[in-house]
Structure 1
Amino acid sequence: MNGLILVGGRSTRMGTDKSQLAYRHQPQWRYLYELLTPYCQSVFLSCRKDQEESFEGFPRLTDTREIGPLGGLLTAFAHAPHEAWLTVACDMPFIDEETIDLLVKNRQPAQRATAFLNPETRRPEPLLAIWEPESYELIRAQFQQNNFSPLHLMQKGDVHLLPCPRPRWLQNINTPEEWATAVAK
């Protein structure tokens, strides 16, 4: 299994690159890289072409489609189509070792993906998930239909959903106000 840290978003509401925000005295992307490394064979940063210099010296998979997380998944599977991908969005600052450990220990490789069920929305969280190689064809088919939502993929079924014991894990931070609140806690 490989790790994929989704850092390629435009961060328009935040006004600055969310992957570079510090929550634990280091940029979030670096924290996630170190967090995933013990669980994964390799860890990659899924970024845009204009971000590559920000991650110099770290393994990157550059998504040229710029269609959001689905583009990152497509790029990852094109790189290693027969391996699972543990994906983590860079704007989820409350993910910790317990989060990843629970996800990995409950992985169901016979299903398309393993993900947490958000108790607040009652939807799966596709940006903190393990995507199995069997999902690659479905991801490509959805892309060809101009549907770029990883959530829609998960809602098609054959996904192992875990109850999320800490809804805060699934919280994403999108604005300067949300960031200020998150770092104050």
Structure 2
Amino acid sequence: MNALILAGGRSTRMGTDKSLLTYHHQPQWRYLYELLTPYCSTVFISCRADQKDNFDSFPCLIDTREIGPLGGILSAFEHSPNEAWLVMACDMPLVAPETIAFLVNHRQSNQIATAFQHPETLFPEPLLTIWEPQSYQSIQAQFQQNRFSPLQILKKANVHLIPCPTPRWLQNINTPEDFKNTTGQ
């Protein structure tokens, strides 16, 4: 299994690149890289071409489509179609080592994905999910139909949903106010 850190967004609501924000005494992308490394063969950062220099010499997959998270996930499967991908959004700083361990330990590789069930919406959380190789066909079909929502794929598919024991793990930080409330900065 490989990992993909989704860092290619424009961060318009935040006003600055969310992957570079400091949590855990380091940029968020580096924290996630170190967090995912024990569980995955290779950890890649999904980014735009103009962001690549932000990630030193770490392995990047350039997303040229810029259609949101689905573009990054599609690029990952184009790179390694026979591998599972643990996909992680860069704007979830409350993810901890036990989050990843819980997800990996509950993985059901016979389904297209293993995802946390979001405690508020009760939908799968597509941006902290293990996407299995058999999901690639659904991702391609969605893209060809100009539908770019990973959530819609998961809502229609055979997904192993796991209750999230700590809802804070799934908290997205999207605005300067969210950042301030999370870090106290």
TM-score (norm 2): 0.99
> Take 2:43 and 2:137, find their aligned partners in 1: how far apart are those partners?
22
Equivalent position of 1:128 in the other structure: 128
**Residue 148 of structure 1 aligns to a residue in which SS?**
coil
Are residue 51 (structure 1) and residue 51 (structure 2) matched? yes
- Following TM superposition, by how much is the alpha carbon of 1:23 offset from its aligned partner in structure 2, in angstroms? 1.1
Counterpart of 2:28?
28
Amino acid at match of 1:113: A
Paired with 2:93 and 2:55, the residues of 1 have a C-alpha distance of 19
Show the counterpart of 1:113: 113
Secondary structure at 1:103 match in 2: helix
Secondary structure of the residue aligned to 2:35 is: helix
How many residues are aligned here? Answer: 185
Give, in whole Å, the separation in 2 of the partners of 1:119 and 1:3: 24
For residues 85-107 of structure 1, the C-alpha deviation after alignment (integer angstroms, 9 at most, x for no partner) is 00100000100100000000000
Q: Deviations over 1:28-87 (max 9, x none)?
A: 000000000000000000000110111121000000000010000110000000000001
Residue aligning to 2:148: 148
Q: TM-score if structure 1 supplies the norm length?
A: 0.99
Where does residue 9 of structure 1 map in the other structure?
9
SS in 1 for 2:44: strand
**Could you tell me how far apart the structure 2 residues matched to 1:183 and 1:160 are?**
32
RMSD value, Cα: 0.9
After the TM superposition, list the runs of 4 or more consecutive aligned residues in structure 1 that deviate by more than 3 angstroms: none
Letter aligned with residue 136 of structure 1: Y
2:102 aligned with 1:102: yes
| Counterpart Cα distance in 1 of 2:144 and 2:157 | 19
Q: Confirm or deny that 1:82 pairs with 2:78.
A: no
Gaps spanning 5+ residues in structure 2: where? Answer: none
Give identity over the alignment, percent.
Answer: 68
Give the secondary-structure state (helix, strand or coil) at the position aligned to 2:9.
coil
Establish whether residue 166 from structure 1 lines up as the match of residue 166 from structure 2.
yes
Question: In the TM superposition, what is the alpha-carbon distance from 1:121 to its structure 2 partner?
Answer: 1.1
Amino acid at match of 1:73: I
Task: Output the CA distance in 2 between the equivalents of 1:157 and 1:71.
Answer: 19
